[in-house]
Amino acid sequence: MKSFFNTLASLFTSSRNTLFIALFLFSGNYHQAVEKQTDIGMAESDLSFFYTPSIEFTEEYTQYVEHSIDSLLKRRGFNGSVLIAHKGAAVYNKSRGYARHWKKQELAEKENIFQLASVSKQFTALSTLLLYERGLINLDDPVVKHIEEFPYPDITVRHLLNHTSGLQNYFYVIEHFWKKDYLPVHEDMLALFIKQSLPLNFTPGRLFSYSNTGYVFLALLVEKVSGELFANFVHKNIFEPLRMNNSFVFHPSMNLEQLSDEKNLTMGYERMGRRLREIPVDYVDGITGDKGIFSCTEDLLKWDNALENNLLISAETKQFAFERALLKNGRRVNYGFGYRIKPKENIIYHNGWWRGYRTAYVRLPDNSLIVILNNTNASIIGLENQIRKVLDKCKVPIFPQDNQQLLASS
């Protein structure tokens, strides 16, 4: 193993071996080129340099997309950021409207940070899969194996990941039984579920029922197994290696008002008559995993590139996340691990909606990506399809076609 890293280091020091490095990356997964890490604190300090798209769009296509999407967003009165990318490179990445409405603070040109709402679930799922790849958990482990106090012995990790656990909605539990004057966290939610002896809605694995509760318990599982806060684990193992410098997981210790003065952090709004009201931190915001991750379009493109090129987990493990869940009766449902699935169109996606934020993350089968981030609680239903119709009217002219074809011709 040591000799492998010595060889790799020597290759990086030689400019003549640039082609070899690229071929090395594309001939197999970087992730699989080294032994699996068993130390949960270990993560490559910087993976961002392993994939830099070297494609370019024609000026005519870029102008067509920009004009068409600008017009579309203006007609809809859209407030937020939209990114469109092909093969890892952005052809459109623009923001319009306000980050802070009552201050008349316009969105910045780039790196505007939004709450991802349920789009956060893919990061929770991947954090769980990182533990799986490091040999620290199995997907069919009973959750109680890792969270000793967990009161449901028949629920497995897989049940949490694909929404087949039967757990009750934690929003109801917190609203009715949390009486303290501080934001509850994952351990507090677990304590309430234990104290209230809440029954399951159905036998685990029998039905699909979208469950925010399941993803909160996944975040707690990550904390129990890793020995660190979920926010810290995600930062060290995902955001930092990918240089997602404008992404973070919310924690009650954070001051979003202060952060908004330091970064291009948006605040969520809801419409009250003709006016927009800024939504303060909610009573369940301290509980994350199902939501609570903040990011921007630029960072989400880095994330998507890492997924596409298997920089964080192997292609085999990633496929678990993209496969439709299987119920006990043999029926498939259109959800994997942190992703919704449109099997006929081969689209992997997730939408989010939380306290003033509407979001969408859509991976198309031609290695294209659409990201929609909105902070006014305005509906974005149909916007993805409208964007796809714009793109379908003009075939993407790219040169060179992609990195692999460029290498093949070298």
Catalogue the active-site residues: 118
Q: Judge whether 332 and 324 are in contact, CB under 8 Å.
A: yes
- Within 13 Å, how many C-alpha atoms sit on residue 378's CB side? 17
Q: Judge whether 79 and 96 are in contact, CB under 8 Å.
A: yes
- Within 13 Å, how many C-alpha atoms sit on residue 222's CB side? 29
Q: Name residue, tokens 């789009």.
A: 119
Q: What share of the chain is helix, strand, coil (3-state, %, to 5)?
A: 40, 20, 45
Q: Judge whether 156 and 203 are in contact, CB under 8 Å.
A: no
Shortest CA distance to 339 belongs to which of 360, 370, 366, 367?
360
Integer Cα distance of 94 and 397 in angstroms: 21
* Helices assigned H by DSSP within 197-244: 212-226, 230-234
Integer Cα distance of 81 and 297 in angstroms: 7
Shortest CA distance to 250 belongs to which of 89, 128, 120, 138?
120
Q: In the sheet that 114-115 helps form, which strands lie side by side, from edge to edge?
A: 114-115, 293-295, 248-249
Kindly state the DSSP code that residue 356 receives in the 8-state scheme.
Answer: T
Integer Cα distance of 395 and 384 in angstroms: 17
* Helices assigned H by DSSP within 106-156: 121-133
Q: Judge whether 192 and 198 are in contact, CB under 8 Å.
A: no
Q: Would you put residue 248 in left (φ > 0), alpha (ψ -120 to 50) or beta?
A: beta
Q: Judge whether 219 and 289 are in contact, CB under 8 Å.
A: yes
